[in-house]
Structures are given as structure tokens and as C-alpha cells.
Structure 1
């Protein structure tokens, strides 16, 4: 039986309680693919018996085929054009590659010419430095050689303007080089020598020096007397010699006085020209080898050093043909002290500056042999300690086996300077006692 309809009051709305019906909408058909539709239309047209439709379809097909053929022709033409363009591009690339290879060869030849030119220029500069005696060139420009101060490895030259230079020969490359005593920045090769004195460029320097190497037999300058031949040396030695030229010989110094050395001792002919001072007021004791000055000791209050770049040779006093005794000490100060304690006009002094190097051993061996041949007496006066004893033994080994050689050391002190200071102190104390005694007697 049908159920009675019930309604509910929801304000202005009335809701029926009848069962609701579910509405299912009919699904819409998805549109077919356009190409599929055209294909189906074409099939339908072919299958139809309608002649106009078939004719229209065939015309469309003919037009389509014609369009396809035209497209293929255009594509073929485009491909041929692209092929021709590619061939042209390839030909152009090959031409560019050939030109590039030619340009590279030309550039390589150009670089090779530049390299040869630079090499020739470098060789020319090297010839300037090796083939032209810088001392000769300096003499051609107003300098003269100071033979008294020159040595086998260093020529000292001066001009009338007060400039003083030292010329040497570098043992490593055979270049002549110089340094100015007045200006430590003024140094180098013959090229630097010219440019530091004239406002000229390198090209002008070349023009200046070419006559010196192109016509050596007809050089622009020929000295009246042959320039002394230089023995090659190192730049370090040359620097030491240049520094040494700035030092001043002295006969007394506050440091020497403080160490008990009297002016009578330091001014003795035996030591004149063997003690120097530098711009900082240090006492300088120069070391020398067979070629000249090779280094120097520096002494002052609470200061002791050796020249940077220098090597130890031997410090020596002045010698005389009448010398009969050779005294070897460790320091120049000990030599001065020994002489002040035991003055003797026939004694020559040598100092090693401490332990012996191989170079010093070679030098001393020659000195010992020369003294031995003239019948001289060798006195070893090294320090009174283990190091001094070791040096004493090394010195004995260097001397000829039959040489007259003795060892003398301070009895109560380490070295001869300490012994001198103690002796002076004792003399002052004795003098004070005598002064007090004379005062009491009055």
C-alpha cells in the first residue's frame, strides 16, 4: 500500500519524506579524433554510390598528392641547396685552414727571427761585459788606476771628481764588474757603469761599445801602460773589498783603551795600517789571503762579529826582513796584548780568529815553511783552554817536522788580553801603594 506522505515544517520550507529518486545522467560521447573522422568520411565517400561525392573526393586526393609531390620537390631542392652550401662552407674552411697554416708558418718564421735577434743582442751584451776590460774603458773616461791600493783581484780607480770605483772579474761568468766606494747603489757591469753616469738608453750604449768589440785591434782607447791582469774573484769578495775601502786606519780607539791596549802599542810601526774603524765606530781587523782582503773582524763594547759574505783568512801585523820570531794567537787583540807584554822588534804576529779552517791551514803551512827556511822560530800563543790546546796541536802538525816551535800560554788567565788587563791592574795597585807610602814618609 502506498505510504501516506508526511511533511515537515522547516520554517518557510516544507520537506517531503517521500523516497527520493536517483538521477543518472546519460554519459556524453567523447568527440572522435579529427583525423579518424576524416578517414571515416573518406571511407564512407568511397563506399557511397554518390558519383559527385566520389569525384570530389578523387579531386581532393589528386590535389593532396600534387601538394605532396610539390613538397617533396621543394624539400629536394632545399636539400640540394643545403648540400651546395655545405660544400661551399667546406671549401671555405679548407681555404681558411690553408691560409691559417701559411700564417702560422709565417708567424713561426717571424718568431724565429725575433729569437735569433734577441739571442744576438744578448750575445752582444755578453761580449760587452766579457771582452771589454772595464778598467780600460774607465781610464778612457777620465779614471786612473791606484796601483798602491789595487790587488790581483781588484783594481782601484779614481777620477778627478772624487769618484772611486773598484773593478773585478767575476769568476762564475767572466764578466768585468765594478762597484763605487762612494755609492753602494752604483755597481754592476760596464753597461751599468755607462748608464749610471749618462742619461742614455740601451741602444745608445750599444752604439758606444760596438767599436770596442768590432775592432779590438783599433780600440778607441789604448792605455799608456798595460792594465794589470785581474784574477777572477767572487762578487762577495768584491763587496768585502768595496766595504774595506770605506774604512779608516786608526792608531787608537776607546775599545782598545778599555781593553788595556795603549796608544804606544796600537801606533807601533808593527801595527800601523792593520787596525781600522767603520762608520759605526767599530774596530776592524782585516783578514787576508794570498789574493788580498777576504773578510774582517768587528769588535766593540759587548760586540763581536765577522763580515757577512767574507771568509776567514789571517790577520797579520806588518813584517820585516829581520823578523826571527812568528807568534800565532787566536785574536788580533791577543797579538796586541802579547806585544805590549813582551815587546820585540823582530817578532811578527798572526791571528786566526778562532778555530782553523782548511783555507787557513793552507795559508799557515806556507807561512811556516817560509819562516822555517829563513831559520825563524814559531811561537804558539793560543788560549789557555781546551780549544786553544786543540789549535796548538793543529798548528804543530802544519809546521815542518824539524821546525823550532814552542807553546806559550797565560799561566793564570784564559788569554793574553786577560793577562794584560790583570798585569795593568796589578801595576796600578802597586803604584797606589807606592803613592800612599810616599805620602806617609812626608
Structure 2
């Protein structure tokens, strides 16, 4: 019930500030305001409390392999419930569920989802945690969760929710559009180099996830028959093969204009120690910085190579020239560099692959 501190003055006479009615009304307003202030502070404290610790106390365990500095992938071994937890830049911890279309939410929403708690029950459950009065013997194993995460901007958190809730791995490299229309074989996509790097979604698009320098998903290239797009709200960084954290296995880099072109080049000239990369089109300053970082991280090894496999057109020439300048600025004299384009003007590497597999293919319907 809301109280208004407005008092009717009959006959336009000024209210007596010492009257009993005015004193009671003011007391109600002040007391109610204090109560709301305390309540709001408690809710804010709950939203800022590490959700990973709360979930660990409910039996969830972090999957270290699927987690990063920015997000924690937590699984309940009993129910097989999977949640991805992140920390927003406003200090609020958030989650979203895997395997459903729910939007997730804050610590309060997590307790409502898992335990069926009302807001009042959430407050009661969280008060011992907020006060630090949980006995050490009842605290979860510190190895089962991450207490700190690097904050994620809210738009990227939404991209990750859309990605994890709609994207799934290919089954043995099978994808109708890539295998049949683009002539990229299931055998190639099932190799460790591409496993987990080329995915699909609920619309059966081919999905090429873009990651930042820490490996977190920030966007994705989406491709299908007569369709070319990106995940809603995503950022364009780099797509690359060989799962994040396997830099030590890389000996060479291959940079193409799209994920399909990179896979097509691999189908023609496969090398297991090459990291195949895509810019998703023209280069941004961020992408240039990421490419430079990838070149600098390559180990010194005999035969190390940076290959630029762009389209045989003016745009491809421009991208190749920019990457060559990046390579020269890295001072990697121990590596080789080459630009490799299809012989036929106007072709990309998928055109070359398709005509190699089938000399008389049906015309492509893609928006290349």
C-alpha cells in the first residue's frame, strides 16, 4: 500500500506541522521509505552475490573445459541441468539455461527456477550467505566453481544466450547445405581441426562462431541456401578452427574472407597443423589487431607459413595487401608468407572447390 505525504488543507489554511494527523502521516512516510531503502539494498546485494557460489551450494559443478574468464558453464550431475553464468558490467550476476529457450536472469531468478522460491524465500535463503554466517563445513568445494569472472557487456551476454540456446555441434560432420551445396565433405568437418568450430542451429544454418582474444563467443557468421547473415547483436572478430587453447599445435595460419572459403581451402590443401581463419569480410581495426596477435603467437618452426586465401577480385586484393602489411609489422622473418587466390577471376575458393568436385555444378543461390 502506497502512502502519499500530501495533506488536504480545508479552507486553504496552512497545515499545523505539530498536529497528530500530520505527525502520523510523516512518520508513516519516513518509516516506509526507510523500509523500502533497506529492501532495495538487500535485493541489490543479492544480485551482486556470486551466482556461481550459490549454484555450487545447490549441487552444480563448473565444467572447466567449457568455461572461460568471462563465463562459467555449470552442470548439476543429478538433474543434468546446465546453466551458463556471467557477470554484467553493472555488477549483477546473470545466468541462462542450456537446452531451453528461457531468458534466465539474476540470482533471484535462478533460485526461483531451481528451488521454486518466491522473492521472500529467496531473501531468507540468501541472508546467511550475505552475512557470511555459513559454517565452513557446509560451504561447497572451492574447486567446483569460479568465484570471480571478468565482466561481460549486456549485449554480448545476450549474444551468448542466443548462441548457446540455438546452436549445436554437427553430427559426424554432416550438414546438408555444406556437404551437398558447398561440396565440403563431412569427413573434413569431422576432423579435430574443425570439430566444434563449424556448427548448426535450429534453422539448419551453418554457424561459424566469432570469438574475442579470450575465446568467448561474441558473434557468428550464419550461412545457408540464399541466406547470409550474422547472429543478432553479434560483433565481427575472427572465426578460427582448432579449439581455443590449442595454440601450441599451430604451425601455420590460413586467413580467408569467410568460414566457407576457409573450409573450402582446407578441402583442397588440408594441413592438420594449420589454423584456418575467417574475417567475415572486410577488415576492422580490431580484426587487424587479432590477426597480428595470432601471427606473433605462432611458434618458430620449420615450414611455418601465413597464407592469405582471398577471392580473385579487387576486394580480395585489398584484404591481402592489408594482411601482408600486418605480417611485415610483426617482424616474423622465421615464417613464410604468401597470397593464394583462385586462378579464375571473380572466383572464391568455394567456387574452385565446387568446380573441382563437379565440373558442371548448378548455379549457387547464395548472396556472395
TM-score, scaled relative to structure 2: 0.82
Instruction: Name the structure 1 match of 2:291.
Output: 364
Aligned counterpart for 1:325 among listed residues 249, 252, 262: 252
Q: Counterparts in 2 of 1:232-247, with a 5 A limit? A: 232-246=151-165, 247=167
Contact 1:137 1:221 in 2 (8 A): no
5+ unaligned residues in a row in structure 1: which ranges?
A: 1-91, 429-442
Q: Which residue of 2 aligns with 1:341?
A: 268
| Superposition map of 1:108-187 within 5 A | 108-130=26-48, 132-159=49-76, 160-171=78-89, 173-185=90-102, 187=104
Give how far 1:168 is off: 0.6
Give the Cα–Cα distance (whole angstroms) in 2 for the partners of residues 107 and 220 of structure 1.
49
1:8-45, CA deviations, whole angstroms, 9 ceiling, x for partnerless residues? xxxxxxxxxxxxxxxxxxxxxxxxxxxxxxxxxxxxxx
Aligned to 1:5: none
Does the 8 Å contact 1:136/1:221 carry over to 2?
A: no
Task: Kindly state the Cα deviation for residue 183 of structure 1 after the two structures are TM-superposed.
Answer: 2.9
Q: Which residue of 2 aligns with 1:248?
A: 168
> Does 1:289 find its partner at 2:289?
no
Do the aligned residues in 2 keep the contact of 1:211 with 1:219 (CA within 8 Å)? no
**Structure with the greater relative contact order (CA < 8 A, sep ≥ 6): 1 or 2?**
2
Q: Tell me the residue number matched to 2:111.
A: 194
Aligned twin of 2:183:
260
Provide Cα deviations, 1:78-117, integer angstroms capped at 9, x if missing partner: xxxxxxxxxxxxxx98999436766435423432222222
CA distance in 2: counterparts of 1:216 and 1:406, whole angstroms: 63
2:95 is the counterpart of 1:204: no
Residue 235 (structure 2) aligned to one of 287, 311, 321: 311
- In the alignment, the residues of structure 1 paired with residue 290 and residue 222 of structure 2 have an alpha-carbon distance, to the nearest angstrom, of 22
SS class of match (1:297): strand
Do the aligned residues in 1 keep the contact of 2:208 with 2:221 (CA within 8 Å)? yes
> Is this contact kept in 2: 1:181–1:243, CA < 8 A?
no
Rounded Cα–Cα distance in structure 2 between residues aligned with 1:216 and 1:399: 56
Question: Structure 2 vs 1, CA of residues 123 and 410 (structure 1 numbering), >3 Å: closer, same or farther?
Answer: same
- Displacement of 1:219 in angstroms is 7.0
Structure 2 residue 326 is the aligned partner of structure 1 residue 409: no
Would the aligned equivalents of 1:212 and 1:219 in 2 still touch at CA under 8 Å?
no
How far residue 315 of structure 1 moved from its aligned partner, in angstroms, is 1.0
CA contact (8 A) 1:335 1:351 kept: yes
Q: Distance in 2 between matches of 1:351 and 1:167?
A: 28
Consecutive unaligned residues of structure 2, counting only runs of 5 or more, are 1-9, 362-368
Q: Secondary structure in 1 aligned to 2:356? A: helix
Distance 2:343 2:197 in 1: 28
Does the 8 Å CA contact 1:248/1:277 hold for their aligned counterparts? yes
CA contact (8 A) 2:209 2:221 kept: yes
Name the CA distance, whole Å, in 1 between partners of 2:249 and 2:138. 45
Change (3 A) 1:426 1:232: same
How far off its partner does 1:217 sit? 7.0
Q: How many residues align?
A: 335
Q: Using the alignment, how far apart are the partners of 2:15 and 2:96 within structure 1?
A: 57
- Matching of residue 355 in structure 1 with residue 279 in structure 2: no
* 2:247–2:298 Cα contact (<8 Å) kept: no
Pick aligned residue for 2:322 from 394, 407, 421? 394
Mapped partners of 1:267, 1:377: distance in 2: 24
* Cα separation, 1, equivalents of 2:191 and 2:74: 30
Specify the structure having the higher radius of gyration (Cα): 1
CA RMSD across the alignment: 2.7
Residue 344 (structure 1) shift = 2.4
Sort the Cα spacing of 1:330 and 1:94 in 2 relative to 1 into closer, same or farther, 3 A.
closer
Conserved 8 A contact 1:168-1:176: yes
More deviation in 301-310 or 230-239? 230-239
Counterpart position of 1:420? 353
TM-score (norm. length: structure 1): 0.69
Q: 1:182 to 1:426 in 2, by over 3 A?
A: closer
Whole-Å separation in 2 of the counterparts to 1:312 and 1:271: 19
Range with bigger deviation, 386-395 or 313-322: 313-322
How far is 1:153 from its partner? Answer: 1.0
Q: Given the superposition, is the C-alpha separation of residues 204 and 349 from structure 1 closer, same or farther in structure 2, using an over 3 Å criterion?
A: same
